[in-house]
A = this chain, B = another copy of it.
């Protein structure tokens, strides 16, 4: 499975492509940061981001895209930019018919470090180790994008299994005789 991880942002948008399967060694295909000028207006910044993301999709042909899920409890202004950047990433993927998964920052941290509260440095260190890189990917947004892709590769089978189990449980429940349900 080849996954493009996107850590959305207007000033810096981290992108990282990882190939692999759960339980097997992972391989980094590419990593980088897309930047748009702070002095440009938001529509133009979104357009530049689209151009950059299209290049990554075209060059690396991922089969899935994992985007960081945006929460709005943080700083209002930056959340808007992040939400808008993530919309462009989701749109580019959907236009190509690629499945998109959203993972929260703590899901990503938990996947690569074992703790949902891990610090940035710890995430970076684990990404470097898991992808057998010679140095830490910089800036942090680039490392976060790789962590997102890894998280997706590792969680995907569990998510499928969960969906399958839930469906089976539902079917089983509907088969129970009336009195057996409380």
Question: Taking A43-B100, A47-B95, A100-B43 as contacts, is the C-beta distance between A84 and B90 under 8 angstroms?
Answer: yes
Interface size class of A (residues with CB under 8 A): 20 to 34
Give the residues in chain B near A41, CB-CB below 8 Å. 100
Say yes or no for A79: interface residue by CB 8 A criterion: yes
A residues with a Cβ closer than 8 A to B are 41-44, 46-47, 50, 70-73, 76, 79-80, 83-88, 90-91, 93-95, 100, 102
B84–A47 contact, CB under 8 A?
Answer: no
**In the assembly, how many copies of this chain are there?**
2
The list of the 4 closest CB pairs from A to B, nearest first, reads: A84-B87, A43-B94, A43-B90, A47-B94
What's the Cα separation between A13 and B72 when bound, in Å?
A: 21
Q: How far does the Cβ of A93 sit from chain B's closest Cβ, in whole Å?
A: 6
Most B Cβ at <10 Å: residue of A70, A79, A85, A90? A90
A80–B88 contact, CB under 8 A?
Answer: no
